[in-house]
Structure 1
Amino acid sequence: MELRSLVTALFALLFWTPQLAASRAGPEVLHRDVCIIGGGAAGTHAAIRLQQKSKSVTLIEKEALLGGHINTFLDPRTKAAFEYGVAVFNNVSLVRDYFDYLQVPLKSFTGWVPNATAVYADLARGNDLPGPTSNMSDFLPALNSYKAQLEKYPYLATGFHLEYPIPEDLLLPFGDFCKKYDTRAVAQYLFPSNGGYGNLLATPTLYLMKQSSMDQVQGILTNDAVNNAARGRNQALHEVARTRLEKNRNDVFVSSRITRVDRTGESGVVVHINTPRGKKAIRASKLVIAIPPTLSTLTPFMDLTNDEYVHFRQFNNSYLWAAVVKNSGIPTTASLMNLDPAAPLQIPAMPQIYGTTPTPIKDLHVVWYRSPHLVPDWEVKSHIEEDFNRLYGRGAEVVVLKNHSPYLLEVALDSVQAGFYDGLNRLQEKWDTFWTGAAWKTNDSTAIWKFNEEVLLPMILASLKGRG
């Protein structure tokens, strides 16, 4: 027995001691120019562009894939793919250049099925409806009227660099703005096409104009949107981006959790992470945060400054879900718009399904659901199935559900008027920290990439040059 114990101890000494020693030695330390937290549209684009500028980068993402609001559904039977998250991009040079650099082909997008039709229903009551009160003859004049108003505020195109006093029209609830400028038909269009508004007609016009920008208006007027349907799925863009970053000796850590961010040193920041490849410590000259700047997302790993805390605690947000639904009962080639005949402009109160679209897979539809307040995922799933079963009685089933919350970060109008966004912009570069994403621009990939190009990258590059 003593000999067996001795042999066991020697075996442990020979084969396990190096691993134990490694576990006690602390995390692997990586030295980089920039560390980016968040691998969605904002963070991935920033990483690629910094790589193009010959800067070393580490990109950290909590999910297993890069892409953020991009969700690609791959049918296990047919292997056909379609998007139930971000489906289209604006056809502008910035988008084309980004896709070209990553060698991901683009082509015009006219929908997942040819000759798609539309049906209308009051899902809350389970009734079919004839359609919205406006039609295309109403919509185009309304859109041109909206465009004329939007042209008054060119500064909305890049970040929240506002002019004071803020024009009264920008502070109006969008429903009142639509009455004033006869753009009601635009509101009925925006309801199913732009997700995330807890209450569209009550949302300040400022936020609607940020979301429904001039690029989007031009795309509607020219019917000119693009996606990477040439490869069949938008997720390909982020897969290629990850490969390109790793090939050029940059780091991409997915399925990774940030445990602590230290910003107290004189030589940049240190980001501590747990990854599938072990613990890492990223020593970077600059930190870019490309996730929603809310207290719930940041405080678990980051000590905020007083200015950061004061600003971030003021954000409110809506909630958005995207789902793929089987047996909805909607005709195979039709989209469904949810209406409430008794509501202003027939726009139903949320939480509720607000629209659907057909897909290349028979009897699968993409469904969007939004709410002004938090709803558990299981409850959203139940609501979706109940609504379709009430209308069609077909045994609807949510195949996959993706929570895109928090969505559309906003602050109270008195804070906007008091200069909230000027203070938010002044947070850039303090403590070697830079910020990007929807809260700094809007929930639109093209607009966020434009913010990166025109605001974020020049600041980071100038700061790195100053340090060097």
Structure 2
Amino acid sequence: MSVSKSWIWRSSLSTLLTVLALSRVVITENYPLPIVNTDVAILGGGASGTYAAVRLREDYGKKVLLIEMEAVLGGHVNTYTDPETGEAFNYGVQSYIDYEGAKEFFERFEIPLQPNVLFSSTTVDVDPNTGNIVPNATVPPPLNGVIAALEKYYDLIVPWNDLMLPGYWNFPPGDQIPADLLLPFSDFVAKYDLGDMAPIISVVSGQDINTPNPTLFVVKNFGATVVEGFLNNTFFDPVPFNNSLLYGDAERFLGDDVVLTSTIVEANRSYNGISLVVEDVQTGTRTLVSAKRLLVASQPSINNLAVLGLDEQEKAVFSTWSYGTVYTAVLKTNLIPDNTSVSFVTPANSTSAQKPYSFGITWNGAPGYFWIIFSSTEDLSETEAKEAIIAEMNTLYNGGSFPPIGSSAPSSEVVAISNHSSVVWGQSVEQLKAGFVQDLYALQGHKGTWYTGGLWCPDYSSNVWAFTDTVLPKLLEGLD
């Protein structure tokens, strides 16, 4: 981990002993370690962590150290650059909601903005087992039916804004939770005749309108701000259409206050302070970080945060998450024409075994390139996910409906892939009624540790930033 000299202070023996007494960290072969003294250590350089670092340093005047495992900031923002044309291809976050201070964050870095960049394409339904086109597999509802259903849905969920936006600080306990929020979403859809919005909820939030999950789980990621963006066409993107620009600018702006390819290997947390041993995973270099507060902006699972020495209160909450394997990828192929997307649909009369994964192929504006969101019920590695995608492309070719374009030989390659596997809300209705949300938020400030990110609020960058704005003043209370 590269740390500038301005960060490293060689303390007197008495000061060093004080730090070590606070940390209670066993340091052997690496002793003595260089020491970094900061106000707030931030774990995770995705949307929330990067935003928090900028705001804490620039708007609150605090010293920060942003610790990120990857080689770049941005989290689920992924951009592939065509080596021949230099054209950027976003295969993670696609656009932003015009919510609270989202546009101001881009303006801080003088990044121009534009209305949401959209690419239209014709969707072809294909049997994933044979590669054959499935005629009339899906018949979308008329556009006016979709809009009417969305407007009805919006009117139903707007009264819950105070409970859910930008976070769940005001979420009620037990029997005070609105009954409709606890209904299986499929029942909620049937109750209010919302079926026509199925295509939009699938494309915008990746959720199935027939899911048995509580309505709360759907609304938290397909809420009023998202629906407003769709109905009023207020989503926006940067100019040029490269969502990694913001995080590249933020990384340069924060300079030595960011350490990349780094992780925490030892830690001690208390209300009196935080001590972390941070290791650069590429060089093995270790640094002792002494902070007044810790802000966790990465996924708070038991495995991810085990190094923090979670106590029973924390484990009880974090053990209730569900887990999903998700990859997002860029496919380069000569089998699918531009302006065409492929949806894999198993016919109702199929006798083939259900595959443990699913994905769609979406044309996203760049000739010859396609965007894939790959999900699996099994814990597949990156290599296994790529192999599954290529196997499906071979099936597509063998089906005969997609001959190679401009060549006699088929060519398909996954040129970029990113692991978006995550922990998600999966609590039962009984757990929600028993106070899960209140138990979750009771961890804010526990042992000097605060949290932000998509598990603590609706998981869209603009909303995550707004939620972070509610956390920072609380984190800073009593901080000298």
Distance 2:390 2:204 in 1: 21
Which amino acid in structure 1 is aligned with residue 37 of structure 2?
H
Distance 2:236 2:355 in 1: 30
Shift in Å, 1:303 = 0.4
Residue in structure 1 matched with residue 227 of structure 2 by the alignment:
217
Secondary structure, in 3 states, of the residue corresponding to 1:383?
A: helix
Between 1:438-447 and 1:376-385, the stretch displaced more is 376-385
The answer to whether structure 1 residue 30 and structure 2 residue 36 are counterparts is yes
Which of 399, 405, 408 is the equivalent residue of 2:421?
A: 405
State whether structure 2 residue 90 is matched by structure 1 residue 83.
Answer: yes
Partner of 2:475: 460
Change (3 A) 1:220 1:24: closer
User: Helix, strand or coil: the match of 1:86?
Assistant: coil
Contact 2:321–2:424 under 8 Å retained in 1: no
Equivalent residue pairs, number: 429
In the TM superposition, what is the alpha-carbon distance from 1:98 to its structure 2 partner?
0.6
1:66 and 1:460 map into 2 onto residues whose CA distance is 22
1:158 aligns with 2:166: yes
Alignment-derived partner of residue 193 in structure 1: 204
Q: Quick one: distance in 2 between partners of 1:341 and 1:170?
A: 33
1:227-262: CA deviation from partner (whole Å, max 9, x where unpaired)? 11x13411110111111112xxx5100001211111
Shift, 1:357, TM fit: 2.4
User: Would the aligned equivalents of 2:195 and 2:209 in 1 still touch at CA under 8 Å?
Assistant: no
Q: Which amino acid letter does the alignment assign opposite residue 363 of structure 1?
A: G
SS in 1 for 2:421: coil
Instruction: Report the equivalent of 1:73.
Output: 80
- Unpaired segments ≥5 residues, structure 2: 1-28, 399-409
1:419 is aligned, of 435, 444, 453, to 435
2:331 — aligned with what?
Answer: 325
TM-score when normalising by structure 2? 0.83
Alpha-carbon spacing, 1:68–1:404, altered in 2? closer, same or farther (3 Å): same
- 1:267 — aligned with what? 272
Measured in 2, the distance between the counterparts of 1:437 and 1:450 equals 10
Residue 354 of structure 1, CA deviation? 3.9
How far is 1:350 from its partner? 7.6
Shift of 1:365: 0.4
1:253 is aligned to 259
Deviation (angstroms), 1:203: 2.4
Q: What's the offset of the Cα at 1:177?
A: 1.6
Please, which moves more after superposition, 141-150 or 180-189? 180-189
CA RMSD of aligned residues (A): 2.4
Structure 1 residue 367 corresponds to structure 2 residue 367 = no
Which of 45, 54, 57 is 2:51 aligned to? 45
8 Å Cα contact 2:79/2:89 also seen in 1: yes
Letter in 2 for 1:119: V
8 Å Cα contact 2:357/2:377 also seen in 1: no
Cα shift at 1:431: 1.1
1:34-183 to structure 2, matched below 5 A, reads 34-51=40-57, 52-111=59-118, 113=119, 115-128=120-133, 129-130=135-136, 131-154=138-161, 155-160=163-168, 161-164=170-173, 165=175, 166-183=177-194
Query: 1:428, 1:435 within 8 Å by CA — same for their partners in 2?
Result: yes
**Which amino acid in the other structure matches residue 226 of structure 2?**
Q
TM-score by length of 1: 0.85
Structure 2 counterpart of 1:241: 250
1:70 and 1:234 in contact (8 A); partners too:
yes
Q: Which has the higher helix share?
A: 1
Q: Which residue of 1 aligns with 2:389?
A: 384
How far apart, CA to CA, are the structure 1 residues paired with 2:360 and 2:61?
A: 43
Moved over 6 A (4+): none
Asked if the contact 1:90–1:226 (Cα under 8 Å) also holds between the matched residues in 2, the reply is yes
**What is the one-letter code of the residue matched to 2:475?**
I
